[in-house]
Amino acid sequence: MISRRDFLYRAAAVGGTGLMLNTMSAWGMGIASRTSEPPALSGSGKGRKVVILGAGLAGMTAAYELGKLGYEVRVLEARDFAGGRCQTARKGFALTELGGEEQRCRFDEGQYINHGPWRIPLHHQSTLHYTRLFEVPLEVMVNDNDHSIVYLENGGPLARQRLRPAQIKADMRGHVAELLAKSVKDNQLDQQLSVDDKRLLLDYLAHEGQLDAGDLRYKGRSGRGYAVNPGAGMTPGPGAASDPLGFKELLASRVGNVYSAVQDFPMQNTMFQPVGGMDRIAKAFEKRVGRHIRYRAEVQSLRHGENNVTVTYKDTASGKLQSVTADFCLCTIPLSVLRMVDTDFSPGFKAAIKQVAYAPVGKIGLQMKRRFWEEDDQIYGGHVLTDIKGINTISLPSSGWQKKKGVLLGYYNYQTAAIEVSAMTPQERADFALAAGEKIFPAYRESFDSAFSVAWHRVQYNLGGWADWNDDSRKNAYPKLLEGEGRVLLAGEHLSYLTGWQAGAIESAWQQLARIHERASA
């Protein structure tokens, strides 16, 4: 049975995206393909056993779907809880990074940080399939807030100013629209544009840049914010307009490059988060497949033969070694960790595993005594973008609106910056975050309660935020790893083009469990 997605993919291969779009249109699908459901599998897995390594979302997805088909599933999970990176730090949550001291989260009841995945794009229908099926309540995660702040240390003439994205967007687009309108009026584009096109383009530019209808100049607009907001009576009455930022200053600051009129595919103005924390998804899976999970089971070795796979694991509580033998193994262990497991994979397969780099990623949650970003600055969610080294973004919570306290994300760093910051102690990381934040928010440091940080590359069972593919590894290692070896198949975000997203883990699991079922049914 061919899925709609497969059909479309083939249509694209044969007739280009035009044919595909026509097909989709004929199906009433508009621009989006519907890839929201687990593979529709028939038959039964009764009498077959699958050992699944890792109780993250990939592992639990496979356990859930294979379990429904009648397979005997056994999930080995090194931690004492399920979810993999789908974690939420709240009061009592403990983490000891490799070579680090133990952190125990001291947030107030009801406060938390999603220090792993933290947002669900609206078109990640696979993740949304399970939140719907398992009735995990969702709420909007404000991913783009034009009333937030951008703060650049290296912003040329606009350096170290608290700029609002709406200002920047309005003024950059306004000036650019004015410039292009001038070109059109001066007949400089007559080669490219017909008389009709010119008229329509001027009309569009006047709209897009909100140009003065008379001279097509940009003179500011309400959307950039007022100097004094409109209100009642005569004072403030209509409010007072604000002056646009100068075109040359904007250009020299390069701040226009921070935002784009269109976000990249996985990003949207609004995304979703589960009410109460991202781990509500993990808990929902765990409720359904928890009986198949062996916790504190650290995989030591894997041996596979023609008829079965044997996995030996250490019970980290007792230190005892135990084994599971199964017809198939679905391994969702991150490649960064798997490379260190004693396996009898072929040298080529081992080399493929080792070829994949993992991204150093750091995050810190800071509980604040007072939601000063809401109270003082009227910022309700979204990201404060900055070029302060090692920070990238200060992200404001999309829950607990108008309450007293809140936990914000104090930094979200990658690569070199993540490695540098993660070398600090938890206390030093908090200090580092506070020193940056107080440049932007006067009340930052005085409002600080407590912190919880993670450096995923230093977390024992992850050793990285996500698989960090490059062209070479995608070309050479990826197909090999997708294939698996013998009766061992791999799944996880790393085996998708949705790297680092929960949807990647789920969709990869869907693909690989379908292959297991196909082979088991053969």
Interaction with its own copies in 186-215: which residues (CB under 8 A)? 186, 188-189, 192, 196-197, 200-201, 203-205, 207-208, 210
Rounded Cα–Cα distance for residues 53 and 76 (Å)? 5
Stretch that binds its own copies, among 49-57, 121-129, 321-329, 341-349 (CB under 8 A): 121-129
Question: Cβ–Cβ contacts within 10 Å for residue 172, how many?
Answer: 23
Task: By CB under 8 A, tell whether 128 contacts its own copies.
Answer: yes
- Per the CB < 8 A criterion, the answer to whether 468 and 358 are in contact is yes
What is the b/e burial string over 441-474, where b = at least 16 CB atoms within 10 angstroms of the residue's CB?
bebbeebbbbbbbbbbbbbebbbbbbbbbeeebe
**Which amino acid, 479?**
P
Q: What single string gives the DSSP state of each residue in 154-175? A: T-GGGTT--B-HHHHHHHHHHH
d(CA 482, CA 511): 10
For its own copies, the binding residues in 433-472 under the rule CB under 8 A are 442
Least distance CB 379 / its own copies (angstroms): 8
* 308/499 with CB nearer its own copies: 499
Burial grade of 140 (CB within 10 A; 0-12, 13-18, 19 or more): middle
Residue 386 phi, psi dihedral angles, 5° rounding: -150, 155
How far is Cα 141 from Cα 510, in angstroms, rounded to an integer? 26
Strand partners, 368: 406, 448
Q: Is the Cβ of residue 146 or residue 298 nearer to its own copies in the bound state?
A: 146
**Nearer to its own copies by C-beta: 169 or 429?**
169
Residues 1-20 that bind its own copies (CB under 8 A): 5-6, 8-9, 12, 16-18, 20
* Contacting residue, 1, 14, 234, 522, with its own copies by CB under 8 A: 234
157: contact with its own copies by CB under 8 A: no
Rule CB under 8 A: choose which of 1, 14, 28, 320 binds its own copies: 28
CB of 466 to its own copies, least distance (A): 14
Binding to its own copies by CB under 8 A, coded x per residue (else -) over 382-401, reads ----------------x--x
Helix (H, G, I), strand (E, B) or coil at 192: coil
Among 94, 98, 159, 240, binds its own copies (CB under 8 A): 240
Residues 161-190 that bind its own copies (CB under 8 A): 162, 164, 166-167, 169-170, 172-173, 176, 179-180, 182-183, 186, 188-189
| Distance separating alpha carbons of residues 24 and 4, to the nearest angstrom | 9
Footprint of its own copies on 250-269 (CB under 8 A):
251-252, 254, 256-257, 260-265, 267-269
Site for its own copies in 288-347 (CB under 8 A): none
